[in-house]
Amino acid sequence: LTAKTSALEVTLDSMAQGILSIGVDGRTNFYNQRLLQLLDMPEAVMAAHPTMEDIMRYQLEHHHYGDDLALLDDASRARLKQWLAGERPPFPANYFRRTSSGSMLEVKSRYLDDGAVVRTFTDVTPYFDAQQKLAASEAQARKLALVAAHTDNAVTITDASRRIEWVNEGFTRLTG
In this predicted structure, what is the pLDDT of residue 108? Answer: 95
Q: Of 148, 108, 146, give the one whose Cα is nearest residue 20.
A: 108
Average pLDDT score over the chain: 88
In this predicted structure, what is the pLDDT of residue 113? Answer: 93
pLDDT interval class at 88 (50, 70, 90): confident
Instruction: Give me the residues paired with residue 41 across strands.
Output: none
pLDDT interval class at 33 (50, 70, 90): very high
Q: Of 78, 123, 131, give the one whose Cα is nearest residue 96.
A: 123
pLDDT interval class at 8 (50, 70, 90): confident
Q: Is the pLDDT of residue 161 over 90?
A: yes
In this predicted structure, what is the pLDDT of residue 5? Answer: 76
Contact predicate 114/24, CB 8 Å: yes
Q: Is the pLDDT of residue 134 over 80?
A: yes
- Helix 52-61 / helix 74-84 crossing angle, nearest 10 deg: 110
Q: Is the pLDDT of residue 7 over 90?
A: no
Contact predicate 121/107, CB 8 Å: yes
Please name the residues in contact with 72: beta carbons below 8 A apart, sequence gap of 6 or more: 65, 66, 80, 97, 98
Q: DSSP letter at 51?
A: B
